[in-house]
Amino acid sequence: MTSKSAGADEHFVAPALSGVAPLSMFDAVRARLYLAIELGLLKAGDRLPSDARSAEALDVSVATIRRAFGALTEENVLTRKRGRHGGTFVAADVDPTRWAEDPAVQRFRDEAPTVRALIDERALIESALAAEAAWRHGDPATAAHLDDAREAIAAAEAAEDWTEFHAADVRFHRAVAAASGHDWALAQHQAVADALYAYFVPYPIAYLRESNAQHRAVLEAIDRGEARIAAREALAHVRELRESMFISQRPSGSGR
């Protein structure tokens, strides 16, 4: 996903909220960071990726990230340090009750039914496409897409943080979808996946590595031509988001 230009008129429009005033990208970034800290996915002392990488992963402009990081620094939610070992860090002793009534955070919470619906839709689409890819695993065109999926898994394994993993994750899922050979389905798959990505919050890399192991299980089943197992693994992988996203009180990656 590419970052938006600094001068763009940025608004986050959740599917169920299209009839009301859109949430600004600035407020959406704030809410996602608040929720990640509240759920223990970002902990005190954790260093955030660079402004540019954070912007690309959250699909906003660098200017928006800088505004959001600056605002949270003023609130003592983040701290910024200069020098060789400087950067942006999660502050110590942050009290999540401070943003319990924040309108942007509440908007995200109110979207829980939409998020669950997107997860279910994506799970059905990806399980079907994984099965189709398994049936076609000997086809040269499919094999090329599966090689791309393998490279994405390797990139995800080498990722040092959630921003690098996100790029590899997007690449993997799109490669598997393309391997199905059903080009007509790719636009719908991407639309649903992108809508869901808009609700993601930063995750610890340890949790994301577990997610990458699920990617391997999907790909291995496809390589063996086992359509039923490929579909089952893909379905379980996406449905796990019900337990790991902010809609769950105790996300898998929270350590709480």
Q: Tens of pLDDT along 30-60?
A: 999 999 999 889 999 999 999 999 999 999 9
pLDDT of residue 256: 34
pLDDT of residue 250: 47
Name all domains of the chain by residue range, CATH numbers in brackets: 11-99 (1.10.10.10), 111-244 (1.20.120.530)
Distance, CA of 87 to CA of 92 (rounded, Å): 15
Distance, CA of 182 to CA of 30 (rounded, Å): 38
* Structural contact between residues 35 and 204, judged by C-beta atoms closer than 8 angstroms: no
Tens of pLDDT, residues 109-146: 999 999 999 999 999 999 999 999 999 999 999 999 99
Distance, CA of 216 to CA of 224 (rounded, Å): 12
pLDDT of residue 97: 87
Helices 162-179 and 51-58, axial angle in degrees (round to 10): 30
Tens of pLDDT, residues 133-142: 999 999 999 9
**Which whole number is the average pLDDT over 195-212?**
91
pLDDT of residue 9: 44
Among 7-11, 36-40, 82-86, the range of highest mean pLDDT: 36-40
**pLDDT range class, residue 253, cuts 50, 70, 90:** very low
Comparing 215 with 6, the larger pLDDT belongs to 215
Does residue 256 sit in helix, strand or coil? coil
Among 21-35, 69-83, 118-132, the range of highest mean pLDDT: 118-132
Counting every residue, how long is the chain? 256
What is the pTM for the complete model shown? 0.85
Mean pLDDT of the chain: 88
pLDDT of residue 139: 95
Alpha helices in the chain (DSSP H): 25-38, 51-58, 62-74, 103-110, 112-135, 140-158, 162-179, 186-197, 205-223, 227-239, 241-244
pLDDT of residue 3: 43
Distance, CA of 72 to CA of 104 (rounded, Å): 14
**pLDDT range class, residue 82, cuts 50, 70, 90:** confident
pLDDT of residue 117: 96
Q: Return the exposure string of 30-59: e unless at least 16 CB atoms fall within 10 Å of the residue's CB, then b.
A: bbbbbbbbbbebbeeebebbebebbbbbbb
**Which whole number is the average pLDDT over 218-226?**
98
